Structure 1
């Protein structure tokens, strides 16, 4: 992953716009998988949307009149909450499974080796 993609994922609007100009699709907002642009309508004026390539994920962006608009919509993201599992309100719900894989039961997602997951919630 390039530096510009990392900055875009961290919510930097200029980096998100630069990725769009370069036709770089950010990873799926839901599962982190690779994304692709698809033409979703062939009747009348074509419409385009970005979706996750993983068939089980189901993440799909809204349809737009141009590929550039579809990519911009997909790449524009808010700043994610950042924190490690020990700082997460859900940390009591983490269990270790076979082969040392750590799993957040609350959100049914794998906890990455660096201690970050996709379901961070700040403690109040």
Structure 2
């Protein structure tokens, strides 16, 4: 089964796919009679929908964001990645980690050593 077919089959069965950003577990949540899907690692969530099936379908069929390693990110400066993870949580990223806010950089933007 291809990726699109698998997404559609999971959606029909009410299966919530893993988070497209971090690969973590995601859960369908009911909020005052409305529905949303959220990553349990709190990295991303869906919009809120009146229909449970639409919330799952929207979550399951969206594309994952671009991803790259910290050392290739626009936010990487010399030895530190200044992405949202480092700003909010004070956690440093290693250059070989996948960046949580990856934006491709031009080679002349920043030094990588």
Under a length normalisation based on structure 1, what TM-score does the superposition of the two structures give?
A: 0.55
1:34-60 Cα distance to aligned partner (Å, 9 max, x none): 22112223xxxx432222335xx3844
Deviation of 1:73 after TM superposition, in Å, equals 1.6
Equivalent pair of 2:36/2:48 in contact (CA under 8 Å): yes
* SS across alignment from 2:77: helix
Give, in whole Å, the separation in 2 of the partners of 1:118 and 1:53.
Answer: 15
Aligned residues: 101
Consecutive unaligned residues of structure 1, counting only runs of 5 or more, are 96-103
Equivalent pair of 1:40/1:47 in contact (CA under 8 Å): yes
Which structure 2 residues correspond to residues 49-60 of structure 1 after superposition, within 5 A? 49-54=36-41, 57=42, 59-60=44-45
Q: Which of these residues, 17, 22, 37, is aligned with residue 28 of structure 2?
A: 37
Give, in whole Å, the separation in 2 of the partners of 1:40 and 1:79.
Answer: 25
- Relative to 1, partners in 2 of residues 1:59 and 1:84: Cα closer, same or farther, differing over 3 Å? closer
Consecutive unaligned residues of structure 2, counting only runs of 5 or more, are 107-113
1:49-81 Cα distance to aligned partner (Å, 9 max, x none): 222335xx3844223233211101222323422
Q: Which runs of 4+ in 1 moved over 6 A?
A: none
Root mean square deviation, CA, Å: 3.5
